[in-house]
Structure 1
Amino acid sequence: MARTKPPRGTPSQPAAVVPPPKTQRRPLNGLFALSFAGLSALSAWLMRVETVVQGVPVNFQSVVEARRFGNGTPLETRFTGVGPVDEVLAFLVVAFLEGSARWDPGVHAQQAYFLLQWFAVVCVWGVEASRRRNAWKAVSFIGFTAFLYQLTGAAVIAPLYYLAYVVTSRDDAYFFQGRELSAGRAVSLLPAVIIGYLIPTVAVYYPWDDAKRAQYLTALWQPAPIIVSVLISVFSFLVPSSSPTAVAKNGDVKHLKRVYLTAGLVAAIAHVGLLYTCLTSDDPRLSLSYVFLPNRATWKDSMGLGLHYIFQVDFLGAFGSTLFWCWLVTYDVLRILGKPTATDLIKAVLGIAFATVVAGPGTTIILVWNWVEDRLVMIENGVKGTWEKPKAA
């Protein structure tokens, strides 16, 4: 599987590639699985165990029981009319409202940035869940996965999703067929993620200056990532089986590119907007350190700061594991198209890190997946010995 390097000035002629036997697997697959399991366990400890032991966030349960925030704002308790559901939603509203009601501008900035960057992950998971080769596999149940991370935290659940991917894709033969999405799912993906996730997220963090409205929007947002999965399935039934996408080979790619473009633009705009806000503001609560870095020195000063700490850990754990997953998928593609050197793998790490700082984690995830999509087409088309996308691919 050595990579060929044609003489300078000679057009590259990629060799044909034969799918490897099913016994050929990703090197160190067990180590990757343990890494994701460890990241999940670490996040669970930092977010859900240590904070409880330390009594963080302070006064949270008191606010839930008193149905009133520390600043006197009443806590809404009726959202759906179903008692147990409303109790869970009220609990989540208390957790989010410091940001969604804009009581703390730094918390508002962090939450809005987190959820707009997460739009990229929602899109990529939607793609992976819809690939033919992933049908009925663990990575296809993104609605259930979203339900779990809405209750527990993305930093805890996302690494477990990537652990499922490591197990599902352990055989190299996995990459040689089943990349495509059905016509219905390819066409439905973009409207589903926009209607199901993006619009509700923007609505929550729009500056309404109305705490009651913010509470209802926050409650209604909670099932948004779950609704995306439902909308993909519902919309896919509306696409006729005779559509050009259904007939053409790799006809789904143009639709996926639109998803990647949309998600990349949203993430990039959110990143630039946050940097501009933080770098031009004199408010210490809008400094980059206040917005992003967990601070144990202040996590017990108020309920809001304790919740801010948890959201910051959630952000770092969720995107840290996702960017690691991006590197792993890049590594897989490089292995199959042409054996990578240590320098190639280090360049991939540095490239992902640089793009994350400059353009944001969501943008980086989309850049990686856009690049990977082209190479997956190459792999199924039998290209080997080059990582450069052929004009025909």
Structure 2
Amino acid sequence: MDFRKQFKIIIAGAGVAGLTLANMLEKFDVDYVILESHAEIAPPVGASIGLFPNGLRILDQIGCYESIMSLAQENAKLNYVRDENGKVLTTMNDMSDHLLKRHGYPMLFFDRQWLLRVLYDQLKYKDRVLTKKKVSNIMPTTGGVEVTTVDGDKIQGSIIIGVDGIHSTVRGEMFRLGHELQPGYFSSDQEDKVPAYYKCSFGIAQDVPGWKGGEQHILTGKGTSQLVVSGPENRVYWFLFAKLPMTKYGKDIPRYNKEDEVEFVKEHINLPITENITFGHVYAHRLSSTLTPLHETVYQKWFFNRIMILGDAAHKPNPIGGQGGNGAIESCAEFMNALIAKKNTQTTSLAVLTDREITDIFSQTQAARHDRAEEIVNAAHKSQALNAFEYPLLSNLVWKLAAPLAGDESVFCRLAEILLNSTTIKHLPLPYRPRALPFKDELPEKPVGRRTSKYVKVAFIVCMGQLIWLVGKAFRLPITDLGSWADSGPMGRRWTGSQELDWIIDMFVSVFACPLNGRNQAPKLQLVYFVSQLISPLLIYTIEGYRIGNQGTLISLPSLFTAGMQVQGIGRMAPIQAAFSALSSHELPTGRFVRPEVAMALIPALTLGYVIPTILALAPGNNIQSWQNWIALWQLAPPIFSTLTWAFSKALRWRITRDQSSSRDEAEETQKLESFDRYKTTDVPILQFVYKYAFALQATAHISILAYAYSHDISLFRTFFNLPNIFKPEWNLVDLSSEINTFFKFDQLFATTAILASNLYSVWDLRRLGYIRTREAFNAAVGVFGGQALVGSGATWAALWYWREQVLSNLGQ
């Protein structure tokens, strides 16, 4: 029989993927029939489902979101990670509300049966859903397929989409036909390569004594982990994962019965969930439960002829990541994108599609989803391995050190890596939902591929490493010769009473004294210029340290870099900081946020801690001892700036909160509310004013010093460059002043080079992430280069950060 007179899609399976796909097809008036093996559409099989923003965004497009939100919901208000004894390792507040703010949709957890009911009720043609129709056999026909069910019915269609789960009959038939009709198309051992690393007890309990609603618990352990979530109607959803003694593959993966479940429960009945509740307490109040092995795989080929598999039949992650159902929804959306794109190229209808055109649709679907499906499967596998202490050293470092330090933004960022790269149905409107983070398909420009991004990052870090190596060649400060006040001989000051410490201070003061007291104007001019351009490094290292997205990284410790500038030189610290920034700096706009009181503290702290001491240290005075004191104090200017920033911000914080109630409950509630400040832009105008201040100071210094050099016939080349070959073992410089001047020139040169490279990498980073268009990136890069000559390195950096702040803050608006 020729089925080309009409186009009908046979959907095998009325689960989340099958019913979602049916709703999508109805939006485009594409005929379909669903074959469901169960006797009812939403059977009470005891499973729960987590819906994340990537899945909800697509469900919103097909009109199901409001119905889903109308279900009884209980969002998790407290999210805990606990150790194997039930003791808290980390706590996070209002995760679902944060996801709503960040992505426009919350995280929902409820009975899978309820979602199936919503999807089914949304269907216009419910008569197209056939129950008790388990697929038994598939045969290709001219222009279509013929499906035989277990009860002997034969259903004809143009194509069949198998969304019938990990034990997919459609996949088995597809492999059979592939081996028969096109040997070699599928590898003969594909099913045998599917691994199972864990088994899982999951189910639904209700009215568990002592259970607190609105909580989610992740339990870590040696070889086990748990995910236990509060649900509506006083429900508790649990997943208890236990690592198999050895990885099983394919046909060797066991299937469990009720007797196996009883033994599993006995083995783990005393496993803590909290310090007061065990797995046994939850299991005793179960409504339903199941023990199952966990397949983890992404099949290499999802289609043959006019057959395609989607959802768990094609890509099955560990459920710890909550992306199984969401990933299936995404796959259905990509299938629709390919189908409707092909439909729009037809002059007649889909009924005339050839086998080659059907293959194109299937191929485009898999191409759009395969890598992302692998990403989701791999991410879930790594998460499970981390929770179950497969690598104890790594798990201990993460859960007992890194996670408590990093804060909740790092958790949201890891989630965003999965959520933001999701798809939509391209030919359906997307309802407006305000969100702080745009999905990747909403960005101004398509992000650069991961491989290219990785290569550029590695190249940049290698270049910074090369600079650090060159610094080691160039820095040849004669430490033992230092300690004199220019040509006046040793200072011999008693600064502290400690001879060793006094010598160190004499050494630092001596480094400044030589160029400032010398007769040659060029070294003095170079030093004045150099220290004036250190405002931006001090300021921006500090700002980056206070950004919420940099918590838990070395970037969050700006004093390491600012103090290192004085001890090791900015020429060495700039490439080190740039490399760490490229490795670990925040990428999401929400990580940009700096508390307003910190932003307000920056200008007074910078002025008192660095600008004024610098002016007094550089300005010669009649009182030599007083001048020496200012030069000595200047050595502490960076840590003084950091300390003043901290102190002023704390004082401002106290002033803001002093009128509020000091009760513990109200203080905790205020802290929770303030965690949502990262989605505001109250800090942006303050920070931009700070950048203007830094720009004005450094640009003025740059222009004034260049003008002075020009008017006094001082060679800029000799002042800032004219350096010896760093690869020569001996430089034979004439005196100590020349050696110090050479050190400062190299320090400035390497610092400027590292900062210039870091500025350009920051522009690249914005383009890589899709936050700016290519032309904007090009213009910004030109501005960075041009700014070096026009306003100087420091002012250019301040201007770049002014613009960058605006770019990041505007993305979520």
Which TM-score tier does this pair reach, normalised by the shorter chain? 0.7 to 0.9
Partner residue, 1:198: 611
CA distance in 2, matches of 1:125, 1:70: 33
Q: 2:749 aligns with which of 294, 297, 316?
A: 316
Q: 2:798 aligned with 1:366, yes or no?
A: yes
Q: Secondary structure at the residue paired with 2:756?
A: helix
Q: 2:497 aligned with 1:81, yes or no?
A: yes
CA distance in 1, matches of 2:645, 2:528: 24
Q: Is contact 1:197–1:225 with CA below 8 Å preserved after alignment?
A: yes
CA distance in 2, matches of 1:333, 1:155: 25
Question: Where does the alignment leave 5 or more consecutive residues of structure 2 unmatched?
Answer: 1-420, 422-434, 442-446, 658-673, 726-730
Comparing 350-359 with 247-256, which one deviates more in the overlay? 247-256
Cα-to-partner distance string for 1:318-341 (whole Å, 9 max, x where unaligned): 111011111111111123345754
Q: Is contact 2:688–2:802 with CA below 8 Å preserved after alignment?
A: yes
Partner residue, 1:27: 454
Cα shift at 1:218: 1.2
Cα shift at 1:262: 0.8
Which amino acid in 2 is paired with 1:219?
A
1:3-14 correspondence to structure 2 within 5 Å: none
Q: In angstroms, what is the RMSD of aligned CA positions?
A: 2.9
Residue 299 to residue 128, structure 1, CA distance change in 2 (3 Å): farther
CA distance in 1, matches of 2:577, 2:723: 28
Cα-to-partner distance string for 1:211-258 (whole Å, 9 max, x where unaligned): 4333221111101111111111111111137859x7792111121112
CA distance in 2, matches of 1:250, 1:132: 13
Comparing 81-90 with 299-308, which one deviates more in the overlay? 81-90
Q: Is contact 2:609–2:644 with CA below 8 Å preserved after alignment?
A: yes
Question: Where does the alignment leave 5 or more consecutive residues of structure 1 unmatched?
Answer: 2-14, 383-393
CA distance in 1, matches of 2:650, 2:771: 39
Q: Is contact 2:571–2:746 with CA below 8 Å preserved after alignment?
A: yes
Partner residue, 1:141: 557
Cα-to-partner distance string for 1:319-377 (whole Å, 9 max, x where unaligned): 11011111111111123345754x76554433211111011111111111101000111
Q: Is contact 2:535–2:694 with CA below 8 Å preserved after alignment?
A: yes
Residue 138 to residue 82, structure 1, CA distance change in 2 (3 Å): same
Partner residue, 1:188: 601
Q: Secondary structure at the residue paired with 1:240?
A: helix
CA distance in 2, matches of 1:362, 1:132: 24
Partner residue, 1:387: none
CA distance in 2, matches of 1:139, 1:360: 25
Which one has a larger percent helix, Structure 1 or Structure 2? 1
CA distance in 1, matches of 2:651, 2:459: 43
Which amino acid in 1 is paired with 2:706?
L
Q: 1:17 aligns with which of 438, 455, 473?
A: 438
Residue 304 to residue 315, structure 1, CA distance change in 2 (3 Å): same
Q: Secondary structure at the residue paired with 2:806?
A: helix
Cα shift at 1:111: 0.9
Partner residue, 1:213: 626
Q: Is contact 1:299–1:305 with CA below 8 Å preserved after alignment?
A: no
Residue 181 to residue 241, structure 1, CA distance change in 2 (3 Å): farther
Q: Is contact 1:300–1:306 with CA below 8 Å preserved after alignment?
A: yes
Which one has a larger percent strand, Structure 1 or Structure 2? 2
Cα-to-partner distance string for 1:252-273 (whole Å, 9 max, x where unaligned): 1121112101100000110111
Partner residue, 2:682: 251
CA distance in 1, matches of 2:732, 2:624: 24
CA distance in 1, matches of 2:498, 2:802: 42
The higher relative CO (CA closer than 8 Å, separation ≥ 6) is in 1
Cα shift at 1:299: 6.1
Q: Is contact 1:19–1:176 with CA below 8 Å preserved after alignment?
A: no
Q: Is contact 1:143–1:230 with CA below 8 Å preserved after alignment?
A: no
Which amino acid in 1 is paired with 2:454?
P
Residue 299 to residue 311, structure 1, CA distance change in 2 (3 Å): farther
Q: Is contact 1:114–1:315 with CA below 8 Å preserved after alignment?
A: yes
Cα-to-partner distance string for 1:305-329 (whole Å, 9 max, x where unaligned): 1110110010010111011111111
Which amino acid in 2 is paired with 1:40?
I
Aligned length: 347
Residue 75 to residue 152, structure 1, CA distance change in 2 (3 Å): same
Which amino acid in 2 is paired with 1:139?
I
Q: Secondary structure at the residue paired with 2:604?
A: helix
Partner residue, 1:335: 768
Cα shift at 1:73: 4.3
CA distance in 2, matches of 1:356, 1:144: 26
CA distance in 1, matches of 2:616, 2:703: 20
CA distance in 1, matches of 2:471, 2:619: 29
CA distance in 2, matches of 1:77, 1:242: 42
TM-score, normalised by the number of residues in structure 1: 0.80
Cα-to-partner distance string for 1:174-227 (whole Å, 9 max, x where unaligned): 323221111321211111111111111111111325543332211111011111
Cα-to-partner distance string for 1:133-159 (whole Å, 9 max, x where unaligned): 112320121112222221111111111
Q: 2:696 aligned with 1:265, yes or no?
A: yes
Q: Is contact 1:186–1:255 with CA below 8 Å preserved after alignment?
A: yes
CA distance in 2, matches of 1:160, 1:87: 28
Q: Is contact 1:76–1:212 with CA below 8 Å preserved after alignment?
A: no
CA distance in 2, matches of 1:70, 1:255: 43
Which amino acid in 2 is paired with 1:195?
L
CA distance in 1, matches of 2:554, 2:461: 14
1:44-55 correspondence to structure 2 within 5 Å: 44-47=472-475, 51=476
1:106-145 correspondence to structure 2 within 5 Å: 106-145=522-561
Q: 2:464 aligns with which of 12, 21, 36?
A: 36
CA distance in 2, matches of 1:82, 1:147: 22
Q: Is contact 1:144–1:226 with CA below 8 Å preserved after alignment?
A: no
CA distance in 2, matches of 1:260, 1:97: 31
Partner residue, 2:41: none
Partner residue, 1:289: 717
Q: 2:649 aligned with 1:236, yes or no?
A: yes
Q: 2:753 aligned with 1:355, yes or no?
A: no
Comparing 211-220 with 124-133, which one deviates more in the overlay? 211-220
Q: Is contact 2:596–2:686 with CA below 8 Å preserved after alignment?
A: no
Cα shift at 1:102: 5.2
1:157-172 correspondence to structure 2 within 5 Å: 157-169=573-585
Q: Is contact 1:97–1:214 with CA below 8 Å preserved after alignment?
A: no
Percent identity of paired positions between Structure 1 and Structure 2: 24
CA distance in 2, matches of 1:236, 1:35: 36
Q: 2:638 aligns with which of 201, 222, 225?
A: 225
Which amino acid in 1 is paired with 2:513?
L
Residue 307 to residue 189, structure 1, CA distance change in 2 (3 Å): same
